[in-house]
Amino acid sequence: MERKEQPAEERERLRQKELKSNTAGSLQEGFNRAANGSLTDLAGDLGWKGIGVLITVFLIGYFIYQLLF
């Protein structure tokens, strides 16, 4: 029985395949990601709990801002 590939593993496999087939495009993409960051990478690294905490912190910060200003 074959092990089912996790979504993160599949994304990484597809990204590696794209890097090998399109080196010039991946170079520019690398520069852009380094300059701007990547929301996909952030969300993948944090997981659903981390995203929930991040949204909660943003909401609390917004409410405090609204109360003070």
- Average pLDDT per 10 consecutive residues for the chain, totaling 69 residues: 80 82 66 67 74 92 95
pTM: 0.44
The CA distance from 24 to 5, in Å, is 28
The CA distance from 42 to 21, in Å, is 25
> Two tokens at 19?
């890097």
The CA distance from 29 to 35, in Å, is 10
